[in-house]
Structure 1
Amino acid sequence: MFDKTMTFSIGGDHEDEMKRILTMVYDALREKGYNPINQIVGYILSEDPTYITTHNNARSLIRKIDRDELLQALVKSYLGE
C-alpha cells in the first residue's frame, strides 16, 4: 500500500489566496511589533495558533490555510518553480 510515491497538487488560485492571507497575517504581526517570520515559522512547526496575534483577525485567517499546502507553496516558491 505504501510502496508508491503519492503526488500532491494545489491550484494557482488557491496559492494566490494563501499568499493574500499570509501577507495579511505578516502585516498584522509587524503592526503589533512581533518578528513576523519567527512567529509564522513557530505556527507552521507547532500548529499552535498563539504564535499569531488576534490583531486584524490574523489568527482566524492563518487557520484557514492548510499547513501542508502552505509548506508546499513555500518550497515551490523558494525553488523558483
Structure 2
Amino acid sequence: MQNMNNTQYFRVEKEPEIRVHDVLKIVYEALSEKGYNPVNQIVGYIMSGDPTYITSHNNARSLIMKVERDELVEEILKEYIHTNSWK
C-alpha cells in the first residue's frame, strides 16, 4: 500500500519539436497522396484557418494545427526568397 503522506510525481514526456519546414513537407505529401492539389488546400487553410482543408491522412491535419498560420506563411516566403535570385 502507498504512503499517503508523500507527494506522487507524474511526469509527461514532451513531444519532440518538429520544424515548420517538415510539417509543410508532410502535409504536402499527404495531400498529394490523397489526390488533392496541395497548394490550393494549404492556401485555403492559411487563408481561412479551417483545418478541413487538410486531410487527416498521415496525421497531416493534426500536424499543421500545431503550427501558427503566420509561421507557415513566413516559412513559405523564406523558402521562396531563398530559391530566387533577387535575395
TM-score (ref. length: structure 1) = 0.74
Alignment of 1:15-26 (within 5 A): 17-26=19-28
54, 57, 64: which one pairs with 1:55? 57
Shift of 1:78: 1.8
Structure 2: unaligned runs, 5 residues or longer: 1-16
> Which consecutive segments of 4 or more residues in structure 1 shift more than 3 A?
none
Matching of residue 43 in structure 1 with residue 45 in structure 2 = yes
Shift of 1:63: 0.4
Cross-structure match for 2:32: 30
Give me the CA root mean square deviation: 1.7
Report the identity percentage: 60
Structure 1: unaligned runs, 5 residues or longer: 1-13
Which is higher, the Rg of structure 1 or of structure 2? 2
Shift of 1:79: 2.1
Shift of 1:69: 1.5
Distance 1:26 1:77 in 2: 15
Aligned residue identity for 1:56:
N
Deviation string 1:9-44 (CA, Å, 9 cap, x unpaired) is xxxxx8x71111110011110111100110001000
Distance 1:76 1:22 in 2: 13
Shift of 1:75: 1.7
Aligned residue identity for 1:48:
D
Aligned length: 67
